[in-house]
Chains A and B, each alone.
Chain A
Amino acid sequence: MAETTYLEAIRQGLWEELERDERVFLLGEDIGALGGPFRVTEGMLERFGAGRVIDTPISEQAIIGAAAGAAHMGLRPVCEMQFIDFIACGYDMLTNYVATARYRAGLPTPMVVRGPSGGYVRGGPFHSQNPEAAFLHTPGLKIVCPATVRDAKGLIKAAIRDEDPVLFFEHKYLYRRIKEDLPAGEEILTPIGRARVARAGADLTIVTWSAMVWKALEAAERLAAVDGLSVEVLDLRTLLPLDDEAIVASVRKTSRVLVAHEDTRTGGVAGEIIARINELAFEWLDAPVRRVAAHDVPLPYAPTLEDTVLPQTEDLITASRWLASY
């Protein structure tokens, strides 16, 4: 078995779906001859041709809008945002057009918008964002944020096969940093809308997703070793729709919850998760649900600044100890 990176897993997932279903095609900036700046689409132009691997102008509205039109006609487009920060340029098309199409007009719009998100890479304000909160508030969209190699592959394939538009936020910090054995020949499909217990525990739950899952696992390891705390890590995998059942199950198990995300605090997804815990599992709580999130500033470039703004493993440990001793 070959070790597969997170990036290669996405590439494999795209490749397999392009092979499996001729309705699938890709469009984005520099995805053809270059294979994308991170090489997610490397070799696809040569294999599938310019008719299915379409290099576009720098036009996020056109990429997303054209994908929607093609999806209405029965095709399965996958759009690449070169950096997910630029999805904001297509915000109108996604929220006003794509997300409403099925409800207002009965128009199926099965399409995927994917791209590299996330910080810890010294990318500065426009190559580090986590835009999930901007879209969580839009009925009609789905949002997935894989944390593992297996889920990166399983969720991109599931997203392409989904009947509705899916935003696939892959974390660029993970691209080449995590590896996993993916058995050749196994069809990996990760169901959208289902969370995963990344580590089982009894004293405290950290609810998180994407790259923060790895920091949470590291924190859990240290807390077990140093404090004797049993920390559960719940990897949400899908943010829209949220897996309420899995969240509530973990709350009932540990009664102390930390919600951690890399995006900024105010209006972040943690607020929604905590509201749901309040509504669905208030009586199971032994402590207030707390957040660990980025500080409310644009993400700066310098390592000293970025590391200050973004939550670190040490922050998860500190917050967990606070909660455990409440």
Chain B
Amino acid sequence: MTVAPRATPPPAGLTGLQLLDLYYWMRLTRSLEERLVGLHRQGKVVGGLFRSLGQEADAVGSAYALEPGDILSPLIRNLGSMLVKGATPLEVFRQYMAKAESPTAGRELNIHFNDLARGFLGQVSPLGAMVPVMAGIALSFRMTGQRRVGLVYVGDGAMSTGAFHEGINFAAVQRLPLVVVCENNGYAYSTPARLQTAAARLVDKAPGYGIAAERADGNDVVATWEATKAAVDRARAGDGVTLVELVTYRRKGHAEHDDQRYVPAGEIEAWERNDPIDRHLARLRAEGWATEPELAATDARVARELDEALARCLEEPFPDPGTALTGVYADPAAAPLEWYRRIAEPPRG
């Protein structure tokens, strides 16, 4: 199989409305994270905060290539993918703030949540683990005769794991309808990609698995859409797995607490000049796909939606402590309360 970089295309068959839609999703992603930064500083985000600044295009463009019924599994920097697949800002705020009404009822963090009906399966933290799991989802599509596609995100770090290898190899052997999107953002925490692999390009691993490959500029939302769309079409046609490498850059640290001391001087600034939203805006303006009033209306819509979501959940409570022990199994319904908690109750009889 050839592994050829795709030239950045013209709008690639996307309509003007879709191009504006892509802008909306990227803007929503970035603005939502900016709100979360404020909430984090106020101590309202009770755990860590993970940014996808500068990676909105690869997340949004790749997810945009899926159809209703398809299922994706994100990584920590795929907030945009989740939103495209129907996750709401309200859900994301609630997750980060550990609210009772959050999709996981306060059990899981950030964007670790799922709704298979809408088409997203939340990740777990051991990297690469979702590749075998999504292979199983794709297997279920085939076993039940459904022409649906699975898409799983990995990073330059996750591709070093055994789970990645086992999952993509199994999916390749079975020719499952699975797309594996590698967001190469240069770093896994502090480790640069050159310390993850000796391969010249991550996508060079595809021929070893006997699968197709696509590679695109991850900061060009149309290019990420087009590369992923080719892979999704291939999967849906029954032609098996594709590894898609989207080349981008992680402009913030692994999480908010990471000061990025390991990043060479000037690197972040160089990528700031390659901002995916700025680039898409420039295209929309230069090629006339959106008017200034349309762009302003989109920004206003994003701000309004975030205002409404935040206002709705800011004062919501944490989960009731009584819910902590339920739902480990279907049966029994709850784990027993520890004896030292029970003797704190008034004596019986």
Q: What residues on B are CB-neighbors of A163 within 8 Å?
A: 329-331
- Asked if A189 CB lies within 8 Å of chain B CBs, one says no
Within 8 A of A (CB), among B118-143: 121-122, 124-126, 129, 131-141, 143
Per-residue interface assignment for chain A, residues 190 to 219, with 1 indicating a CB less than 8 Å from any chain B CB and 0 otherwise: 000000000000000000000000000000
- Asked if A254 CB lies within 8 Å of chain B CBs, one says no
Contact A69 B329 (CB under 8 A): no
- Asked if B237 CB lies within 8 Å of chain A CBs, one says no
Per-residue interface assignment for chain A, residues 56 to 85, with 1 indicating a CB less than 8 Å from any chain B CB and 0 otherwise: 110111111111111111110100000000
Per-residue interface assignment for chain B, residues 305 to 332, with 1 indicating a CB less than 8 Å from any chain A CB and 0 otherwise: 0000000000000000000000111111
Within 8 A of B (CB), among A163-197: 163-164
Count of interface residues, chain B, beta-carbon cutoff 8 Å: 42
Contact A62 B114 (CB under 8 A): no
Q: How far is the CA of A135 from the CA of B129 in the complex (A)?
A: 19
Q: What residues on B are CB-neighbors of A164 within 8 Å?
A: 329-331
Q: How far is the CB of B194 from chain A (nearest CB, A)?
A: 26
> Which of A75, A104, A142 is B112 in contact with, Cβ under 8 Å?
A104
Count of interface residues, chain A, beta-carbon cutoff 8 Å: 43
Q: What residues on B are CB-neighbors of A68 within 8 Å?
A: 132-133, 136
Q: What residues on B are CB-neighbors of A142 within 8 Å?
A: 329
Contact B327 A103 (CB under 8 A): yes
Contact A105 to B113, CB < 8 A, known contacts A72-B121, A92-B126, A97-B124: yes
Within 8 A of B (CB), among A31-60: 51-52, 54, 56-57, 59-60
Contact B132 A61 (CB under 8 A): yes
Contact A108 B169 (CB under 8 A): no
Contact A69 to B133, CB < 8 A, known contacts A103-B327, A106-B104, A139-B328: yes
Taking Cβ atoms with an 8 Å cutoff, the residues of B that contact A are 104, 107-108, 112-114, 116, 121-122, 124-126, 129, 131-141, 143-144, 162-163, 166-167, 169-170, 173-174, 327-332, 335, 339
Beyond contacts A56-B173, A66-B139, A73-B136: 19 other A-B pairs, Cβ-Cβ < 8 A, are A62-B163, A62-B167, A63-B132, A66-B170, A69-B136, A73-B116, A73-B140, A74-B140, A92-B129, A93-B163, A103-B327, A103-B328, A105-B107, A105-B112, A105-B122, A106-B327, A107-B114, A142-B329, A241-B332
The 8 listed contacts between A and B (C-beta, < 8 Å) are A63-B132, A65-B135, A65-B163, A68-B136, A77-B136, A96-B124, A104-B112, A139-B328
